[in-house]
Amino acid sequence: MLVATILAAQCTDVRVNMVTPRLFRRYRTPVDLAHADPDELEAIIRSTGFYRNKAKNLIGMSEAVVERFDGEVPASIRDLVSLPGVGRKTGNVVRSVAMGLPGLPVDTHVTRLSHLLGFTEETDPVKIESVLDPMVPARERGDFSLRLILHGRRVCVARRPKCGECVLADFCPGSMV
């Protein structure tokens, strides 16, 4: 999950899912990935874009997991964001989706919907997360983020929100109906 989320930056989930089977067959453990040849790794992940940086981060992240965390991806957000290539969004995805722990990833959809729905005017994702966290029970934060992301993809689309079809239109301050 951590590797896939690092690869997902500026890339579609569909593309990431096309790359990961071969990647995970070639590198089965954090130790394998930590010792990867950069050129070979870059070739495997090339189609996900920004592949040089991603390869560097994947190797650095794996080295850190092996050296500092005994080969196990750490669970605390503080430890997660200490890994190369891992920011709060990635850390919260891993916590909420892979570990079942509280984590509210703030992406472009969560940011946009938080503004439209009047939750906050903050633009910094870390600040938005700190505003949303107290509003949502800890165990529901991951699902809440996923719901906003799906709503942003399917209904409240960036250029032309479908307010006429939106179940939130009655109380959304950003509604255009």
Residue 161 in the binding site for ligand SF4 (CB under 6 A): yes
Catalytic residue of the set 56, 79, 107, 133: 107
Q: Which of residues 81-120 bind ligand SF4 (CB under 6 A)?
A: 116-117
Of 52, 59, 56, 55, nearest to 34 by C-alpha is 59
89 noted as active-site residue: yes
Does residue 163 belong to the site contacting ligand SF4 (CB under 6 A)? yes
If binding is defined by CB under 6 A, does position 162 make contact with ligand SF4? yes
Using the rule CB under 6 A, is 146 a contact of ligand SF4?
no
Helices (H), the chain: 2-7, 13-26, 30-34, 38-45, 51-69, 77-80, 88-93, 108-116, 125-132, 141-154
Task: Give dist(CA 103, CA 89) in Å, integer.
Answer: 9
What residues act catalytically? 89, 107
- The footprint of ligand SF4 (CB under 6 A) covers 116-117, 155-156, 161-163, 166, 168-169, 172, 174-175
